[in-house]
Structure 1
Amino acid sequence: MSPTPTRIRARAPSTAAFVVLATWFAACSSPPAPVDRHAPRAPNVVLILADDLGWGDLSCQDEHAVGTPHLDRLAAEGVRFTDFYVAQPVCSASRAALLTGCYSNRVGIAGALAPSQSIGIADDETTIAELCRSRGYATAAFGKWHLGHLPPFLPTRHGFDEYLGIPYSNDMGLANRVRPERWPPLPWIEGETPIAYEPDQRGFTRTLTDQAIGFIERSHAASRPFFVYLAHPMPHTPIFASPAFEGSTGRGRYADVIAELDASVGAIVATLERLGLRDDTLVVFLSDNGPWLVFGDHAGSSGPLREGKGTTFEGGVRVPSIWSWPSALPRGALRREPAMTIDVLPTIAGMVGAELPALPIDGADLGPLLRGEPDARAPHDALYFWYHQGDLEAMRAGRWKLHFPHAYRTMRGREPGRGGEPGAYDESARIGIALFDLELDPGETNDVAATHGDLV
C-alpha cells in the first residue's frame, strides 16, 4: 500500500510577511514520466472544468443523457477516456490535484474549503498556469476557484494574469437553499478585488464563456500563446440557466443547464475556428467529481456507475475526460486505460515544453497514450482514492478496484430531492474489504474478494 503523500497546508498570513513551510513524507508510488519533447508546435491550451457533472451526463457516454452535440463533436475530433478519475470526489481537493499534478493530500487541501477557513494553495506549489507562463503564455482563469479565498491564494498569485469569478462554490452564499444564514454574500472577484456580491447566477455560464472568448481574441491579437482555465460553477447546485436556455430542452432545469454548458464548449471551439487557431489548440474537458445525487432532479447522472459525489465509488470519482488537438492527436479515439487529473499538469507540461515542478508530483505524462503510440500503456500501476482528512478508501490496479473498510453516504432506498431542495442521505452505510472487476462490473455490484484472496 502506498503511504499517504503530504506537504504542509498553507495558511493565511497573520502579518505582512507570508511564510510557507513545506515538507513531504513519501515518494509517490508512480514517478512522473519524462517530459515529452517530440510533440509538434506547442499548442494553446483551453482547460474546461464542469462542477458536479456526472459521467452519464454526456450523450457520447450515455444514450439517456440530454443531447450534448458540441461535446460529442469534441470527442469525435479527439480522444475520450472512459476510465478517467479525480483524486478526491469533492471540490477543493479535486481542483488542487488538477492544477498541481499532486494527490491533494500532498498539497494539504482536503474537502471543500469554506469562506470561514483561512487556508489555501501554498505559494511553493507550481500550477499549470505557472508552467505555461514560464513558456511565454498569457494565462487566465474564469469561474470557480476554490483553492483559498484570501489574496495569497487567489489565481493571480498562482500563475494567472487575469481572473474573474467566484472564490468558492456557488452555494456558499445567500442563494443556498438549505442554510442561507450560514454564509456571507457570495463575492464576484476581478483580479483580487470583489466588484460585486451575490451576482445573478443565471448569467454565470454566458458571462464566463464571453470572458474566455475575449481573452482568446486579445491573446491572438497580441500574437501570444494562451492558457485558459474555464472552471464553470455549473451544474453545482443551486443550478441556473440563462433566459435563452430556460425551458430549452423540455427535460427540466438540470438539462437546460447542461445544454448551456454544451453550447459554451461550442462557442469556444467556434472562436478558435474563426481565428484559425483550432488545429493549434488543445481543448480539454473534465468534471471535478461525480453528481451530487441528494439533489435528485437538480443533479446529474452517474450512468451505470455506483453512487456519486462524496464517495470513492466509481460514480463519485470517474468523470468525463475529452482531449482534442486536431494537429497532434487522433480523431474519435477511445482510451480505456485508467488515468487521473493528477496527470493533466505533466501532460500539458510535455506539450508546451515546460519543465516539471521542482517539488515531487504524482502525475505522469499522458502524451504517448493520447497519441496512441504503439508501446503506450496506463501511466500508473495503481491509482489511489483518499477522502476526508487523508483516509485511503480505495485503489485501482488494472481492471481491479479494491475498497478498504469505510463508511459512506448513499441515496439507495431514499427519496431524492426535488426542485432544488435536497433529500436525505443514508449516512450509516459501510463497506468492508471489497474487490470489484471493473471490466465486467463497472457498477461495483459483485464483490469478488472472497474468490480472489490472492489479489486482495
Structure 2
Amino acid sequence: MKHIMLNGLAVAAAATAVFAAEQPNIVIILNDDQGYQDLGCYGSPDIKTPNVDRLAREGMRFTDFYVASCVCSASRAALLTGCYPSKIGVPGVFFPNRGHKGLAPEHVTIAEVLKGVGYSTKAVGKWHLGDHVEFLPTNQGFDSYYGIPYSNDMYPAKEMKYADGCLFREGMDFKALDDAFAGKSNNGNPRSMKDKVPLMRNEECIEFPADQSTITRRYADEGIQFISESVKAGNPFFLYLANSMPHTPLFASPDFKGKSARGLYGDVIEEIDHNTGRILNHLKQLGVDKDTIVVFTSDNGPWLVKGAHGGCALPLFEGKMTRFEGGQRVPAIIRWPGKVPAGSACSEMALTMDLLPTLAQVTGAALPAQQPLAGKNIMDLLTAKKGAKTPHEYFFFGDLAVRSGDWKYHKKEIFKVKDTKRESKAPTLYNLADDIGESKNVINDHPEIAERLAQALEAHNR
C-alpha cells in the first residue's frame, strides 16, 4: 500500500476556510484532443452541444483555462497530481511495449486525496499513465477502473493480462496476438495491430479489440452505474470519466454517425455531449445534482494535422503538440449549484492543476506533502468573489514558454500545421489581451517584460 504524507497545515487551513469542509460529489469529464471552439458555448458554428451548453448556463465558463502539457500523458498526470509533469517524471507520452513506464505510485492523485476523507472513487475511460499493474488506476487511488488504458490509436500490450471469458472480436485470439508480436514491429509494437486496443476492467482485459463505435456510451453507462451504487451506499463519490475521443481514429455509434454538420468529428462531439447529458440527468434524477461539482474540459488542444478529423482552436493559434495557446488553452466549465454562480464566466487564468488543491480545500482533505504542487486553490474565482484574481504569477508551457498576466513569452516556437507555419523569430513576446492569436511579436517594444519572463522560465527549468 502506498504511504502518503499529508500536510497537516492544509487541513487546518481548510477547517478555517470561508466554506466549511463539505463533501460534495465530484465528476470530472475529460475529453481527448477537443479544440477550444468545439462546443456551442465556445462558438462552434456547426457542432451542436445542448447539454454542455446547459452546463455552462448553470455554472461557470472559463476563457483562460490551461492544461500543463500539449500532449496526453503529461497533461493527465498534471491534472491528477496538481504538479507540472516534468517535476513528477512524466515529460511526454507513454506507449505500450516501450519499457516499464508510468506515473510513479509515490505521487498522490486526486483520488487518493479524496479517499482520505471517505470518498468512493472510480476511473472510467482513457488512462494513459502506464499500462503495467502498478501504474493502473486501481493502484493510484481508484477503487475500480473501466476503460482503454492508453490512446485509442495504439496497440495491445504484450504483458496484458486477459480475463477469463475475455471477448475476442474481429477474429482475434491468443494465437493471433502471438503471431502479431512475432511479426513486423514499430518500436516494439506489432504493426498489424495498429488501432486495436484493449478494454479493461480493473487490471484485466475484458474485450479485444475494444468496440470503439459504442465506447462513448459504455463509458457513460459505467459512470451512471457507479453514481447509482455510491448514492445507494450513502458515500460521497469521485468519478473521473476520460473519453477516448475525439482523439483519432474517430468512431460514432449508428445513432450519431452522419448526423452532424461537422462530419465525423462533429458526430463524435455530439455523442459525447449526449452522454454528458445522460450523466447530468442521472444526477438530477437521484436528487444529488445540487450536491455535485461537475468539471468538463479537454486534455489539450486539437490535433490539427488530422484535417477534418481534427478539431478547431479558433480564435487561438495552432493546436496539440505546440506551446501556442491552441495547444494548451482548453474549454472548461465548472458547475456547483449554490456555490458557483450560474451563467458566469471567468477570464482569469486557471489550470487543471488547480483542481487537486481546490477540491482538497472544499472537502477538508489534506494536501500531499511529498510532491511539488503547482496548482492553487481557486475557490475565490469559482465563487466570483469580488476582486478575485488568478493565484498564478506565472504559468509555464513546458520549458519553452511562459505566461504572466496578459504577456506570453516564447523561448522557442514549434509549429505543427504547415499551412499556418511562419518564419519563427523567437524569442517572441505577445500581448494576449490584444493578440489572442499570437501573431504580433512585440518583444522589441517591451524588452524589460521579455527579460523578466525569460528569467522566470529559466528558473523554472533548473
Q: Taking structure 2 as the reference length, what is the TM-score of the superposition?
A: 0.84
Secondary structure at the aligned position of 1:320 is classed as strand
Matched, 1:38 2:18: yes
1:441 maps to 2:422: no
Give the aligned partner of residue 8 of structure 1. Answer: none
Shift of 1:231: 0.3
Aligned partners of 1:19, 1:282: CA distance in 2, in Å? 27
Q: SS where residue 290 of structure 2 aligns?
A: helix
Give a deviation string over 1:390-415, Cα, whole Å, max 9, x none.
Answer: xx110000011111124x2321428x
Q: Which residue of 2 aligns with 1:364?
A: 376
**In structure 2, the residue corresponding to 1:259 is in which secondary structure?**
helix
Specify every segment of 5 or more residues in structure 2 that has no aligned partner in the other structure, as ranges: 157-169, 171-185, 451-462
Q: Tell me how far apart the structure 2 counterparts of residues 308 and 182 of structure 1 sit (CA, whole Å).
A: 29
Q: CA deviation at 1:42?
A: 2.1
Name the residue aligned to 1:146: 128
1:173 Cα offset (Å): 2.5
Counterpart position of 1:56: 37
- Map of 2:410 onto structure 1: 403
Distance (Å, rounded) in 1 between the aligned partners of 2:301 and 2:36: 7
More helix by share: 2
Distance 2:19 2:342 in 1: 16
Q: Cα distance 1:297–1:77, how it changes in 2: closer, same or farther (>3 A)? A: same
Q: What's 1:127 paired with?
A: 109
Deviates more, 1:185-194 or 1:255-264: 185-194
Report the CA distance shift for 1:455/1:51 in structure 2 as closer, same or farther (over 3 A). Answer: same
Question: Contact 2:46/2:260 (CA < 8 Å) preserved in 1?
Answer: no
For residue 94 of structure 1, give the secondary structure of its aligned residue in structure 2.
helix
Contact kept in structure 2, 1:57 and 1:303, CA below 8 Å: no
Match of 1:376 among 378, 388, 391: 388
User: Partners in 1 of 2:125 and 2:376 — Cα distance?
Assistant: 27
1-structure distance, mates of 2:145, 2:203: 8
Equivalent pair of 1:39/1:328 in contact (CA under 8 Å): no
Return the alpha-carbon distance in structure 2 between the equivalents of residues 413 and 302 of structure 1. Answer: 15
Q: Deviations over 1:156-183 (max 9, x none)?
A: 00110010011110000389xxx77075
Decide which structure has the larger Cα Rg and report it. Answer: 2
CA RMSD between the two structures: 2.3
- Contact in 2 for aligned 1:342/1:363 (Cα 8 Å): yes
Distance 1:183 1:450, change over 3 A: farther
Counterpart among 442, 448, 454 of residue 454 in structure 1: 448
Mapped pair 1:162 → 2:168: no
Q: Per the alignment, in what secondary structure is the counterpart of residue 302 of structure 1?
A: coil
One-letter amino acid of the structure 2 residue matched with residue 372 of structure 1: A
Provide the C-alpha distance between the structure 2 equivalents of 1:75 and 1:87, rounded to a whole number of angstroms. 23
Shift of 1:39: 2.6
TM-score w.r.t. the length of structure 1 is 0.86
Query: Aligned pair in 2 of structure 1 residues 374, 34: CA closer, same or farther (>3 Å)?
Result: farther
Equivalent in the alignment of 1:298: 309
Is 1:253 matched with 2:247? no
Q: Which residue of the partner structure matches residue 111 of structure 1?
A: 92
For residue 329 of structure 2, the aligned residue among 297, 318, 330 is 318
- Aligned letter for 2:402? M
Identity %: 46
* Equivalent-residue separation in structure 2 for 1:196 and 1:447 (angstroms): 51
Counterparts of 2:351 and 2:294 in 1: how far apart (Å)? 17
In the alignment, which residue of structure 1 is the partner of 2:173? none
CA offset at residue 187 of structure 1?
1.6
Corresponding letter in the other structure for 1:67: K
Runs of 5+ unmatched residues, structure 1: 1-17, 23-30, 387-391, 415-425
SS at match of 2:449: coil
Taking structure 1 as reference, are residues 369 and 244 closer, same or farther at Cα in structure 2, changes over 3 Å only? same
Report the more deviating stretch, 373-382 or 433-442. Answer: 373-382
